[in-house]
Structure formats: structure tokens, C-alpha cells
Structure 1
């Protein structure tokens, strides 16, 4: 099976000298093409920092980041990278321009990717995420949190990427809408043959969405395991077992 994403010996840090903070240390894992892989751990464990290193938002890093066999260097990402990899952020309101309509958000993204037939593509994207064309000319403040996140997902899909990075995509939403968004993401993965790398502090979410997962603690990956092993409570690492026990007790 081909590998969509490979990470080896990844270190990510912020600041210099005595002010340096090592956010990720020696992380490594592979995500197969078409797989949904989770990164789970407590807040501050380095999960989202890995996504930011991949996309160039965390510029100081060393190690190997490889996308579909192509090694990524430094903090710069070209258009080709963003046609392959897109990211959905945690807060759907902060990630959308408050004075741009849904149509503007999606049309500008399509234009940046150099795509034509923009009108048809906008309508298709809105249909894909379960909104429909009646939402096309609304502003973010006219949408619910779940609807805004659907727009953010549509924007991520606009360039027809192979890999989607999901940074806590439901944690800012009401519990009642979280399942809807997770089910939408599951359907879109199947329909478009997408590969997911998903960050969450919520083990049940990872268990629902992912095939395998890596458990992170203090910037390090302590265990990589299959979701079936997670469901059976077969974590090897003591921290993973504690995390699982806390999740079951919650």
C-alpha cells in the first residue's frame, strides 16, 4: 500500500537559547493512502504542532516530512503542496473572513487553485457538505457553528486535495452537531478517496473516525496502535492506558 504521509524524527521548537521550547521531539509515523490516522493526547502534547509543521505554520523544525514521496523542506509551501494537502481548523468562525460571503470564500479559493467553472464548482461544493446553494450568499455571522464548519470543509475540498489535516474539527461545536460533522467527514473520505490526519483530545472521536492512532505525551509519541486495539483496551503504554481509562470514566 502506498504511503501518503511519512514523518520521521520530527522535532519542532519555538524560541532560541534559554527561551527555547521543544514542542515535538522525535515524532514518527506513516499514514497510508486512503487511511484515517489520529493523533490523540492532552492539551499541549504537541498534536496540533505536528499539523502546523506539515503546513509550514510552525517554521522551526527538523527531521523528515514526506508527502506522497516528496520531501518537504523548511517553512515555504508551494501551490502544488496546497493542491495536495489542506487543513480544517478548530474554530470555524475564526478561520472564515467575517465580511466575505460563502460565495466569496469558495470562489477565491477556487481561483487561487487556478480552477475554472467557478459557479458550478461552488454549488457542487456546497452540495457536497450538505448546505446547498441557499447558503451561497450568506455571511459567517448568519450561519450556525456547524454550518460554518461545513463551509470550512468545503473550502478545504475546493482544490481537490488528496490529504486533509483535521485539527479538532468538532471541539468548538455543540455536542448535538458534532456527530453530524464527523459523519459528513466520514462520507467525504469515502466519496473522494481522501487521506485524513486528525488531531483530537477526544478518544471516542478518534475511535469513530480513525483506523490507527498515535498517542502523544509531552511532545513525544508514546504508542501507535490500531483502533480495534483501542476499543479492546489493549494499550501497551501506561499513559495510553490512563488516557483510555479517563475516557471511559468521563
Structure 2
């Protein structure tokens, strides 16, 4: 069964002469439990697809299905129990005046969970932080620790699909591998499905089973990671990306 189906997705910004078509006729699916990557240069439409799925890019047409159900223009609350997103910048995605306990506790409360204290502790353990970080504020955390809190917040509603928007690109190189390994472990442990955006082919090669290559808002090729590692791309742009990554 497919966790996510995208069919003829178009996303645009502005109107009439000011209209910019950010995504054009994108079509792909992500199987349950799969990790699927979107790669391409900056401005190719990768992150816009994630934003359309979550409702952060409101002007779109086409079909978005999660677990076989078409996603309406206005997302119901239940949607966010199934789908969560981890953003690129851990500095911007956490409220500077909220402690880690407040960030996680409020998310759990919003989704109707009980035994919030126990769940906060469990979430911190799951992302490798532990209780000592519970009452710290974002300015008291390193970039990697902030991103772990952001991942814990995304896990709080017990979603099935995680959208990962360049989750390590704002971090030091030494920390990037730790976060990627954490995400790989969490996927196995919680039986999650990932849709991951990155411009770094080595990250996609490490994390994903299949990937779509995007150029100027269009998907030019869908390939599996075995083909990626063997440098077996068929589209000239994909070949160019692979050569540049070497």
C-alpha cells in the first residue's frame, strides 16, 4: 500500500502576470515504510512539494493522497496526527521563549494525549537527549540538539509519514551524520515513512530507497538508490547532477 500518492501536482504563487509556477505536473508515490528522496538544485520545487502536502503552500491543483485518502484543501486536525514535518532550520522552528518541556508538552496536549510528563521523557530518550534537557531553552542548546528537539516534536503525535526538509543542511558537518543516523534508527523503530528533500546526493544515497530528480519545478526522473550509486541516470540533467556530486 502507498502511504503517499502525488498525481499531477501543480503549485504556484502570485496571480496573472505575477504568477510563478513552482511545481509543474509532479507525479510520484511513496510506499508504506519507504524512504523517498527529492533532489535538485535550489529553487527546483522540492521543498514546495512538502509545503503543498502540509497546507503551507495553499495554491495548488492535482491530487494528494495520504493512506489512500484524498487530502482536502483545508487539512483536518487528524491529518497532522498522520503527517508531520521537520524543517531545515532548527534555530527558526523552535519558539525562543518556550522550554523543551513546553514545546513537547503543548504538542502532546494539542493532539489529545494523556500522561504528558511520561511521554515528554520518552520522546527525549527516543531522540538521544534525555531528561536533563527537558527544562532548557533553545538558546541553551547546540544546533544538533535543537534539531533533535524538532524531531521529537514531530514524533509527538505518533505520525506515520515524516516530511524532512533538508534536516541537516543548517548543521555542522560533524553533527550531520549523527542526525541522519538518528533518523534512520527512528524510521526502523517507529515504522515510519519518509519523504526527504536534499540537494546532497550522498545524504539521499544514505537515507533513501528511491528518489525523484527535479529541475525547474518538474520531475525529470524517478530512480532507485542502486541506480544512483552505480551512476546509472538516464536523463541528462540527472547525469549532470551525479557528475557534479563526484
What TM-score range do you get, normalising by the shorter chain?
A: over 0.9
Equivalent position of 2:196 in the other structure: 198
Q: Which residue of 1 aligns with 2:50?
A: 51
Match of 1:217 in 2: 215
TM alignment of 1:144-159, pairs within 5 A: 144-159=142-157
- Given candidates 177, 200, 209, the residue that maps to 2:175 is 177
Distance (whole Å) between structure 2 residues aligned to residue 72 and residue 82 of structure 1: 11
SS in 1 for 2:213: strand
CA distance in 1, matches of 2:76, 2:87: 20
TM-score of the aligned structures, taking structure 2 as reference length = 1.00
Q: Which of 236, 239, 242 does residue 237 from structure 2 map onto?
A: 239
What is the aligned partner in structure 1 of residue 37 from structure 2?
A: 38
Match of 2:78, SS state, is: helix
- For 1:108, the equivalent position in structure 2 comes to 106
Aligned-CA RMSD value: 0.3
| 1:161-176 correspondence runs (5 A) | 161-176=159-174
Please state how far the C-alpha of 1:77 moved relative to its aligned partner. Answer: 1.2
Residue aligned with 1:79, SS = coil
The total of aligned residue pairs comes to 246
Structure 1 residue 246: Cα displacement: 0.2
Superposed displacement of residue 78, structure 1? 1.3
CA distance in 2, matches of 1:138, 1:206: 32
What residue number does 1:63 align with? Answer: 62
Q: Which runs of 5+ in 1 are unaligned?
A: none
Structure 1 segments (4+ residues) deviating >2 Å? none
TM-score, scaled relative to structure 1: 0.98
Q: Does 1:120 align with 2:118?
A: yes
The whole-number CA distance in structure 1 between the counterparts of 2:235 and 2:222 is: 10
Match of 2:114, SS?
A: coil
SS at match of 1:134: helix
* Counterparts of 1:81 and 1:149, CA distance in 2: 23
* Separation in 1, partners of 2:110, 2:205: 35
Q: Distance in 1 between matches of 2:231 and 2:135?
A: 47
Tell me the distance in 2 between the aligned counterparts of 1:229 and 1:146.
31
